[in-house]
Structure formats: C-alpha cells, structure tokens
Structure 1
Amino acid sequence: MKLFLSLHRAVILALLTLLPFYSYAEKDLSSENVIVMTTAKKAGEQLDFYIESSGPVSFEGAEGEWENKKWITLTVRDQTIRIKGDIHTMNCRENMLQTLDISGCQTLKEISCSSNQLAEIDLTKNKALVSFNCSYNRISSLNLSQNRLLELLVCDTNNIQGEHMTSMIKSLPIRESRKGDCYVFNIHSDQEKNICLTSDVAIAQSRGWRTKAFNGIVVEDYPGSFPESLSLEPEGCPVISYDMVTDEIVISAAISGSIVRLFSFDGHMLSSTQIDARGCARLGVDVLNHICLLQVGEQVFKVSLP
C-alpha cells in the first residue's frame, strides 16, 4: 500500500510539472496568426503573393515556397487557402479572391487585396492596421471604427454609397498631427460605383483626412459629388449625383438599357447616353443654365447644378 501511494504521488507530481507546458502549448496554438481566403481559381492554377513576416509562413490549400519580402507564386490545391504566420504585410491582388478573412491575423499592419471579387471584409479585429487597399472589388460598406492606427485607405472602384459611405467616413480614426489619405474615387474607371458626396468629404476633413481621386495615373484632391436637388419616389429611383471634378452627372441604381437625356429647362435636348449593364451612366454637362431636366427611362428629375 505504501508503495502504491508513493507511486501515486509521483505520478501526480509528474503531471503537475507538465501542466505549464500544456498550458503554454494551448495558449500558443490559440494565438496562431492565420489568414483564410477562398478563390475562384481552380486546382492547378496559380496565385501570386507578396508577404513580409517576422517568422516562418506556411500554406494550406496551396503549394509553393515562401520567401520573405519577395513575390511568390503558389499553385492552387484547394479553393480554400490558409496562410499561417506572424504576417505584417501582404499583397494578394488579382487572385480572384471571393472571400478574405484577416480577423485571425493580429500582427497585420498593411494589406492590399485590390482587383479581386470581394463583396465584404471585416477589419474590426485588425487593430494594428496602418494601410488598407481594397480598390477594384464589390465592397458596399467598411467599418473602420477599430482601426485607430489607420493612415491610408484606398477604397476606390467599389460600391460604397449613401449611408454606407457616410458611416465609413464617420468611422475613420481622428488624425491630428498627421493627416490621413482616403482614396475614395476613380474618375475614369467604368467600374466605379462609389458615391462620396461633398457632405462626406466635409466629415472626412473634420476628422483629419484628405479625400483623393485617381484621374488616370494622376492623383487629385477630391471635393466630392454634389447631391441631386430633387429626389422623387424613394423606392425604384436612380441615384443621381454631380461630379465637380469632371463636370458630369453620375447616375447609378438605374434600370440597365434605359435611355438618359438631359434637357435645358426650356425643353432643348443637350445630351444623351444609355444606362450600362451595371445600372450606371455618366453624362457630361456644358450648360449656361444651371437648372435642367434629366430624364432616366420614364422618370424625369429637375436638377440644380452647382
């Protein structure tokens, strides 16, 4: 019996000495940084990444060799891909990504996921984020309320409009000593569906941010679009705004194929165009009278140009 008790105590003591190691291993596993994404590319096709990390990086769902601070090419094995490591910079542009979950990578400071197929992305867990580029996607809203270190936002050529644009601008962190830059519009892109009004620009400026627009390869200060002077039926109505940079009326959320005509107030037709497959159109303005009539399909709007 004494021998049994002695052995029993020895086993318990041995287990107790191992507990810190198990606890450490469990903690280490739970704090592992991982980025998860899905791509429309098929098995055997290639993905390109630029990754900077403070430690080794591994891949699941794709094969390839990681090199720090260099562009690498991976071969798709599974359309769901996991990238593990203490990553602080990543560029995953033009990879036909349909989803991107970076919430599990707390070390991430800079990411560019431009030119993909993303409809949404959650940034609320990435409190170290300094730079974010999601241009040329399908994103309709962004919440930046937890990204207090953010200095650069590039979100042009998406679908952020109305209250979603205003909410995004209001969620920008307040910057005082050094202004932030928000690239919110692409003047010549036929994929651009963002609408950032002059009122949104004013909010951004009050929070210490400069709003910018791409004009070809040139970057310009963006004053915002001028809102329509008259909204008719709230449902089924196109969204109409005015781009003061290009002197164009911008129409979105309209019926594809509809004819758009601009008339002077005395009834003379000034210009016309057609709503594209995305429900959008842009119409150049060169009139002396700032009060005009805009016909979009069967609907007519009285517009007051600045």
Structure 2
Amino acid sequence: MKATKFAAARRLSMKAALAASLAISLNAQADDYPSRPVNVIVPYSAGGSSDAVARLVGQKMGEVLKQPFIVENRAGAGATIGTAFAGRRGQEGYTLLLADNAQAVAPAMFSHLSYDAVGDFSMVGFVGDSRVMLFASKSSGIASLRDLLQKAKAQPGKLAIGTGQGSPSHLMTELFQARAGIKLQVVPYKGASAALADLMAGHIDLVLSNPASGASYSASGKISVLAQSGAKRDARYADVPTFAESGIANFEASYWFALLAPSDTPAPSLQKLKGALQATLQDASVRHKLDELGIDELDPRNAGGMEKIQAESALWKSVVATSGIVTN
C-alpha cells in the first residue's frame, strides 16, 4: 500500500516537474521571440496594394522587433495558395499572412478549401481599409451615379462593368447591382489593372476598385469617379459623392488589410506581434505612406477580429447564392 502511494506521489512529482520545465522553456522562447527572420506571405504577385502594404508594415515591424520581416509572394487560385501556405501549423510565429478581403471571399467561392479561413488563423491586427470607388469611362457618357441608375434601369444588361473573376471586387459588383436594383453586363478580367486599362480605352463602361488602383487612370482624364463608399466623403476626394448621397443607402463595402498568424502561434509571441503592429501603425512615416495609398486607419475598438472576417464571409456567401455566381 505504501509502495503504491509512493509511486503515485512520484508520478505526480514528475508531472509537476515536467510542466514546470515546459513552462520555463516556453517563457524562454517567448523572451527570445523573434530570434530569426519572420516571413510575411502575400498571396498575390509583387507590385499590388497588398504587396506594398506588406513591405511597408513589415519593414517597420522588423525595426521594432530587431529581426527582418521578409515578404514572400505566393500568388494563385484567388489568393488561396498563399493563404494555405501561411496557415500551416507549427510555424511558431515565424510565418504570417498579409490578408485582405479574399480571406472572407474564398469560403464563398471555393467549396473545398484546404484550410479554415477563420479557424486556422489568429488576428494580429487590421492594418487599415480603403474606400470602394465606382469609376466610369468618359466615352460612356455617364455623368453621375444617378445618371447611371437611370440608364441601367432603362436598358438592363447593356452597360458593361469589368471585374476580376471571383475576386472581392466581383462580389462587390454583384452586391452593388442588388442594392441599386439594376442589371449590368459583368465582364471578367484577370485583375483590376486589366479592367481599368480597358475602361480607359472605352471598351467597358464601369469598374469598382480602390483609390490607389484607379488614381493613375483617372489622372488621364479618360475616366471619372462617380461615387465612393463610406458614411461621409473622404477629404481627399471631397468632390466625389458617397453612394448614399446618390441614392444607394445600403451599399457598404471597403477594401481592408490585416496581418494574421496561424492559430497555433504561441500566445506570448502573438502579443509581441500585436504590440509591434500597433507601434508600426502609430509611426508618422508609416501613416503618411498608408495615406498615400488611400488606406485609412481602422478604429481598434470597432475593427473587430476574426469575427469580422466570419461575418463578412457570411455576407459574401449570401451574395453568391442569390447572384448565381459559379463557384469552384
């Protein structure tokens, strides 16, 4: 009996010692983190808005945490290739994802994802968001959003709007049509740049995009900006009315950017990353460069976490269901 009690006590003692040793080891790892470079996966080719944001934010976070943040572009399949790679388990905080709206769109567009867009990731923080703008070709003769609504209702399906097939802008385009009560001819493109180039050439009539993508094209004088999202006009685009001002009160959309980590990232490391991102976004030079990209700061009290992505994904699933978009 005494031997049995002694053995049980010894096992408990060994378990306690093992737990203490593990805790010390984890604390030491947290103190050392990051002890080597951190990879930031961008699920798009180099040169786009996500790539620019990742490089800007990554450089400053590297300065804060004293280790380089290396941007790695892994494009393809509607951003799902890079996202799946970034979400792998066991990365210990050394692989992150610069996510955008595609994180919420993918579950609506792809029925057999190899990852859970919400469950496999933890939120480091939202970097910011930018307005959705409706651009029109000058050759279309469309003078305003109200003018567009009149023409579209008079001739359903005649006006052509370009969008990246299966992209966040594609689903925003479908949502815009539903909210406006109009039917447009949706022309698929590989991306926003190709659609905007054809818009400027007058091959299509409309494109929904972000300010940074459309700025250089609107400067040509061959396209105009009909409306911008948001509760009120952005001072940078003070002469552009909001969708609500032009008669579409319930079209709410934005292009957002967020830094995510795999869900098994150690909590102390995740907290370090959150602190570094907050410090980065408070840096005046970073804020200025984000402003130049048309990206606004998100109020951390209202930005939300992974639940925001989950709620947005539910919206896009309903849009796909009602619009008849073909999914993969």
User: What range is the shorter-chain TM-score in?
Assistant: under 0.3
In terms of fraction of residues, the more strand-rich structure is 1
**Which of the two has higher C-alpha Rg?**
1
- Normalised by the length of structure 1, the TM-score is 0.27
- Normalised by the length of structure 2, the TM-score is 0.26
Bigger RCO of structures 1 and 2 (CA < 8 A, at least 6 apart): 2
In terms of fraction of residues, the more helix-rich structure is 2
